[in-house]
Structure formats: C-alpha cells, structure tokens
Copies of this chain bind each other. A is one copy, B any other.
C-alpha cells in the first residue's frame, strides 16, 4: 500500500471552455458509466516534458481513430487541447517538479460511452507524475517473456468488431499478461500471434535493430543501421512513439523495415526495445531467459535512438 500520487483531473464540459477542474481525491464518475462497468471507451497516455506534451497531434489523431472504431462521439481536438493545457498547468503549479530533469508528467485522455441512456460520452484528462519504475527501466533495460495473444496476425483485417487497432479501456488481458510475467520474474511481455508472428507488448511497440558493417567499395567500411518493427496490419496498435522515431531515424540515415517478424528475429537482433510514450525506449536484455544482442552494441544504439527521440516534439 503506497500513498496515491498527486493527480489533477479536468473534465471536458461544454459549460467550461478550458475544461472543468475536479477534485481527484473525491469520486467523480458515475458508477453506471459504461466505461466503468464495461470497459467501453478509449484512451491515450502521453508524456509532458517541461510542461509540453510530446507528440500531441499523433495522440489526438489516434484518440479520434479509436473513438471511430467504437462508434464513440469524441469532442473536437481543440477542446482536448484546452483541457490538457489546463490540467498540465494546474499540476505543475500545485506540485512543482523538484528539478527540471524530473519535470515529467503522464497525461491521460479518457473517453467513455457515458451513463447508459444519457447519450453523451464522459471525457476527461488525468495528469499525474511518471512512475519511478518506468524511468528506471529506460536505464536498466527489461527482461521479457513471449506470450501467445490467442489470435492470428490476419484477424484485424477480417474482424473489425474485435477492435484490434483501437486503444480501448478494456485492458484486463494486458494487465493479466503483465502480472503473469511478473510472477515469472520478468518485467514485461511480447505477445505473439497463433501463427507465430511477433505482435506487440501489452502497453508498448516492439522494435529491433541490426548494425551491419560492409566494404564501402573504396577501401573503407560502411555501417548500416536498420530499424525494424512488426507489420502494422498484424492486429497491433499503431505506436505513436514508433511512428515518430521511425521518421527521425529515416532522416538520420537509418534503414527502416516492417515485419513480418518471428521470435527468432528478436533473438538474432543486435538490440531489441519496447517503446512507448511514457517509459520511452526500454532496452530488452533477455527474452525467455536468452540474452539479446551484445551489451556494447545495445548501449550504443540505445544512446543513438534516445538522442533521435529526444528531438521529437
């Protein structure tokens, strides 16, 4: 039992153009809200650094597309932007970061289907500090196990009702997979499909890299860096961090690739990461107990990608 982290809540409310601040220490949701009793809603989790939300547009766009997949009414992006500004400013005022390096906040956006029969969604912004575990894992790396996600990699295209590309509130399985991993002494999970493809983490996207040195034809050596992620049409959530990092890496001369990937590809990579908006790049040290890549190359590539990622707005 730990004391709860300081949380700021801002509800989207037509009567409050900049959002309605609400006391997070008191109940604010109806027990009959369909988000609460059916996981019927969508969300985004974003990182604010020094008061500025990273990849805001990509997150707002993905929230729109998740809401569309669930036939959920979603307020306009302008209303979200104002409520986010209100929440981040309020949190930084109420709970100033002890140092500029600690000025990181999780900004969560939630849209639920609201109370049954009321016909309007419930929408809010939740601002809270970044947990210590996530920040630590950026440095130490993580141990991962592979777990079967139960479906094949073609399901998203043939069965839209399974909401594969939407970030819904129905995260019980993602949480159960993480608990299962923790019981095995691991930190995280990479899901695989029933047809043997690498999919994603419960709350992250999978990346791998290869470093190849070849003759440059002029007596010297040429180093190629190649960054690969699973195919986006394999029933996974399109990662906003993966998307932004791929753009930055391309501009820096990296080659890019999109699966299909199999577990063997992870074991043969020079480095593997789970990337997400809050924890950022978490280097994968072991998968099912097997060491991944070589520590020196993993360290070098992680440093390079972190630098590229730090430049993303």
Bound: A151/B33 CA distance, A: 29
Residue of B5, B163, B171 touching A176 (CB-CB under 8 A): B163
| Chain B residues with CB below 8 A from A171, complex form | 38-40, 170
Out of B29, B147, B173, name the residue touching A163 (CB < 8 Å): B173
Assuming the contacts A27-B28, A151-B151, A180-B160, asked whether A175 and B38 have C-beta atoms less than 8 A apart, the reply is: yes
Q: Is the beta-carbon distance between A117 and B29 smaller than 8 angstroms?
A: no
Q: How far is the CB of A73 from chain B (nearest CB, A)?
A: 12
Pick the contact of A29 from B29, B40, B118 — CB < 8 Å? B29
Count the A residues whose beta carbon is within 8 Å of the partner chain — how many? Answer: 67
- Cα distance A117–B177 in the bound complex, in angstroms: 19
Interface residue A214 (Cβ < 8 Å from any Cβ of B)? no
* A126 contacts partner chain B, Cβ-Cβ < 8 Å: yes
**A85 near B: Cβ within 8 Å?**
no
With a CB–CB cut-off of 8 A, which chain B residues contact A158? 148
- Asked whether, in the complex, the Cβ of B38 is within 8 Å of the Cβ of A169, the reply is yes
* CB contact under 8 A between A124 and B31, given known A163-B173, A175-B40: yes
Binding stretch for chain B, among A108-116, A223-231, A251-259: A108-116
Task: Write 22 A-B pairs (CB below 8 A) sorted by A numbering.
Answer: A2-B119, A4-B117, A24-B30, A24-B31, A24-B32, A27-B27, A29-B31, A38-B39, A38-B169, A38-B171, A40-B172, A40-B175, A69-B176, A70-B172, A71-B179, A147-B159, A150-B151, A150-B155, A161-B180, A163-B173, A163-B176, A166-B172
